[in-house]
């Protein structure tokens, strides 16, 4: 959905769609989230995710860039106050000022936040290893982050489908969940 469509049709359609299709209260981090979070807790990694589901935060990821935002970060479009996600799930209207509440996610014709871009570029430039997990790396501007990778960094892709990347990389064609389950993090 485009931002303009969502805003012009905000009177419930997008809110109801989000509530019914994007929030999964029983979802829990899997082994991928947990092992990557463990590396960030040791200050050995930064995770840059396209996922908007909050599972990296639930896993305790210390260094995290939510490139496309996060469904669980909700704000009022009128006053810009951050509100608990529970308020949004109850009503799309901010009780305080009557403004529209919305999750802080990137819609199709909206731009990525400057903070997310800066943090991502910085992480890529300082990485000695870039691990790409479970993505086609075809959606821009996310896919373009590879151009900012440290030239000395090794790039490893773990994905069920083979990837075609504009950099030298090692491809592990496997189910990422199974691969991470066998991976030891020290």
What pLDDT is recorded for position 110? 82
Spatial separation of the C-alpha atoms in residues 89 and 111, rounded to whole Å? 25
Listed in sequence order, the residues at least 6 apart from 26 whose beta carbon sits closer than 8 Å to its beta carbon are none
Sign of CA dihedral 17, 22, 23, 27: positive
What is the arithmetic mean of pLDDT over 92-121?
Answer: 92
Does residue 157 contact residue 163 with C-beta atoms inside 8 Å?
yes
What is the arithmetic mean of pLDDT over 139-151?
Answer: 95
68 is catalytic: yes
Does residue 65 contact residue 85 with C-beta atoms inside 8 Å?
no
Q: Tokens for 179?
A: 């691969």
Cβ density class 141-157: b for 16+ within 10 Å, e for less:
ebbebbebbeeebebeb
**In this structure, are strands 154-159 and 170-173 parallel, antiparallel, or unpaired?**
parallel
pLDDT tens digits for range 147-157: 999 999 999 99
Secondary structure of residue 13 in the 3-state scheme:
helix
Secondary structure of residue 70 in the 3-state scheme:
strand
53: CATH: 3.40.50.1220
Neighbours of 39 (CB within 10 A): 18
0.85 cut: is pTM over it?
yes
Q: pLDDT tier at 107 (50, 70, 90 boundaries)?
A: confident
Q: pLDDT tier at 132 (50, 70, 90 boundaries)?
A: very high
Q: Which member of 68, 73, 80, 94 is catalytic? A: 68
Mean pLDDT estimate for the chain? 92
Burial of 88 (0-12, 13-18, 19+ CB in 10 A): buried
Q: Tokens for 40?
A: 């960030």
Number of domains in the chain: 1
Is the pLDDT at 36 greater than 60? The verdict is: yes
pLDDT tens digits for range 76-100: 999 999 999 999 999 999 999 999 9
Q: pLDDT tier at 14 (50, 70, 90 boundaries)?
A: confident
Domain that holds residue 93: 3-182
Secondary structure (H, E, C), 25-42: CCCCCCHHHHHHHHHHHC
């Amino acid at each position: 959905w485009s931002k303009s469509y969502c805003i012009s049709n905000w009177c419930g359609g997008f809110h109801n769609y989000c509530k019914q299709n994007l929030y999964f209260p029983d979802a829990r981090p899997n082994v991928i989230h947990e092992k990557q979070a463990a590396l960030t807790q040791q200050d050995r990694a930064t995770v840059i995710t396209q996922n908007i589901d909050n599972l990296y935060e639930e896993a305790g990821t210390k260094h995290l860039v939510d490139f496309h935002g996060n469904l669980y970060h909700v704000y009022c479009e009128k006053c810009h106050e951050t509100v608990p996600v529970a308020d949004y799930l109850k009503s799309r209207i901010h009780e305080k000022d009557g403004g529209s509440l919305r999750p802080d996610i990137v819609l199709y014709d909206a731009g990525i936040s400057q903070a997310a871009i800066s943090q991502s570029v910085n992480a890529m430039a300082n990485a000695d290893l870039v691990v790409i997990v479970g993505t086609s790396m075809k959606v821009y501007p996310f896919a373009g982050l590879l151009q900012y990778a440290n030239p000395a960094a090794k790039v490893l892709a773990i994905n069920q489908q083979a990837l075609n990347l504009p950099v030298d990389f090692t491809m592990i064609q496997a189910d990422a969940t199974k691969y991470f389950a066998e991976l030891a993090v020290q």
